[in-house]
Structure 1
């Protein structure tokens, strides 16, 4: 995989690529060690080496600022009346208070499972996975879709269906009649658009769409299948989507069957989407990803990375953390000795599937500021 695909979409900052490439060298070295010598210690080593030093510096600076701000506040309060003290203290906003006009700062990274089939990076696509992100005055919107690989045996590129679905979602978000509080309607309209094409778009895909509405500071989500999201706050998962499965490793999916074969293809309508409404707070970190991440990376490792970027507004720092998650998932997916979440779930179904699960990987990491 080229470095372009590792870095994800182009970035506008000046020194960002140089800093990220330096970090990726460290990540690749440790990932190689991890693949050769599996174990929790090397995973922890990978995590430690990819911690963001700018975050630590900012944390120290913020601590000093907080102390200075406290001293000034106390001095001022001593000089004011009791009524003024109450008024000033009432203006102090807790770190996790709801925001009047929140927004998302986000970064994307991913890998195609088979780099021979997908040798170069295309914006919005990692192998059979697809993604989009868009912003309007009313909301930020993010989405991922995972094309079902079984279509390839019929000569169909599974990535075409997922890519069309996400591009339609992006276009509809930017339309005047977009309703930020109804991502399920967004999925439905995008799917109808796909099904109405003059030349049929064949394939199947999962889909997960998030919107952060500025008006009410709420996160709205619609999910079909086993892609999904988690929200981390103060080192814990406070919200997550639920997998939708017909049976093990067979998720709910939107489908575009060949004409006349609708009854022979597994398909679920947009109305099957799970809808979620969640109150976001300042400092929340959102991970939206395809199952290539969740099937390979344990929750505790994801929480460690996400907790590092709580409240971070620097896109470079978010990009480095997104790179870290994607590379961890990639490395562990090809490790035959890794006791992956997928392997653990398989054993619960009396199915032996040791090691990681090779798959396309898409990571969208977002910070609420």
Structure 2
């Protein structure tokens, strides 16, 4: 993701789609993904019956130039309580300092996944974000969003920066987050530096959900390249989140490499007075094109959780993705 510098023109990119397959996290981070005991509190002795929970579909497509390294986004999903999910988008500007921007976002998500059941977190996404940030020792910074569903249907979320979330109900967007920016293309971010944003700067929201509602969460690579009405039309083609997960990401990837697509990013750039030189305007030209970036998408569907879950399932299944 382009964060350190403002982009004044859209690069020309070859037109093709990238499809990522899951890869194992780095050894330093797999301690949370592999060793469930280290991440999970002891299972309760009684069984849990939920009212609602979330069924997930996920997909990540790295920036074309970062595909060999897996990109700089990271995310995790968990079935704890009604469901927990999060995305962190590493700030690429750190690369000029010979810092791998992926490490901060990956460690932030690994720490968050380990702390989901911490009693001090108390199922509060803002506190979870703060504790995960405090535990992260990698150099770098990232935008991040964390969301937690209560079994009664209340979705709680905390967002720092320009990762986003949409709630879809019967073909309409009933809730959307708003990006936090210092100025155009420079979002709020959690950082290893003392000066910067913290969990206290997060926008905190609660949304009451109904069975059947769809949740679309993404890094800015999604929302910079796909309009909300496209998300709605894409998601409406599928009955489940598992089926729908990869298609918004594929659409964003396609748009991001289309130099003739008037994307949400190019529209915002023009609204902020970033455009082609004056002489090109005279010729009727304008700044258009998609924005190549890492693209991470989590699609969640609110489903009934009437079935009794085994305690080990309800408390222990945590999956971390950092491709």
**Equivalence for 1:303:** 232
Q: CA deviation at 1:308?
A: 3.1
Aligned partners of 1:204, 1:324: CA distance in 2, in Å?
28
Secondary structure of the corresponding residue to residue 271 of structure 1: helix
1:241 pairs with 2:177: yes
- Equivalent of residue 211 in structure 2, options 282, 289, 301: 282
Aligned CA distance change for structure 1 residues 154 and 9 (closer, same or farther; 3 Å): closer
**Equivalence for 1:140:** 83
Secondary structure of the corresponding residue to residue 107 of structure 1: strand
**Equivalence for 2:20:** 6
Aligned partners of 2:199, 2:177: CA distance in 1, in Å?
16
- Equivalent of residue 270 in structure 1, options 185, 188, 199: 199
Q: Is the 8 A contact 2:156 2:206 kept in 1?
A: yes
Q: Is the 8 A contact 1:232 1:307 kept in 2?
A: no
1:337 pairs with 2:260: yes
1:190 pairs with 2:119: no
Aligned partners of 2:121, 2:272: CA distance in 1, in Å?
41
- Equivalent of residue 101 in structure 1, options 22, 35, 51: 51
**Structure 1 segments of 4+ aligned residues over 4 angstroms from their partners:** 7-10
Aligned partners of 1:179, 1:133: CA distance in 2, in Å?
18
Q: CA deviation at 1:175?
A: 3.6
Aligned CA distance change for structure 1 residues 8 and 237 (closer, same or farther; 3 Å): farther
Secondary structure of the corresponding residue to residue 292 of structure 1: helix
Q: Equivalences for 1:179-258 in 2 at 5 Å?
A: 179-180=122-123, 182-194=124-136, 197=137, 201-214=138-151, 216-257=152-193
Aligned partners of 1:243, 1:9: CA distance in 2, in Å?
30
Q: Is the 8 A contact 1:183 1:222 kept in 2?
A: yes
- Equivalent of residue 347 in structure 1, options 262, 270, 274: 270
Aligned partners of 1:106, 1:227: CA distance in 2, in Å?
18
Aligned partners of 2:186, 2:173: CA distance in 1, in Å?
25
Q: CA deviation at 1:222?
A: 0.3
Structure 1 unaligned spans of 5+: 11-98, 121-125, 313-317
Q: Is the 8 A contact 1:226 1:244 kept in 2?
A: yes
The structure, 1 or 2, with the larger RCO (C-alpha pairs under 8 Å, 6+ apart) is 2
1:328 pairs with 2:278: no
Alpha-carbon displacement from aligned partner over 1:221-254 (angstroms, at most 9, x marks no partner): 0000000100000110001111101000000000
Aligned partners of 2:274, 2:18: CA distance in 1, in Å?
37
Taking only aligned residues, the RMSD between alpha carbons, in angstroms, comes to: 2.2
Structure having the higher helix fraction is: 1
**Equivalence for 2:282:** none
Q: CA deviation at 1:107?
A: 1.2
Alpha-carbon displacement from aligned partner over 1:238-272 (angstroms, at most 9, x marks no partner): 01111101000000000113xxxx45xxx211100
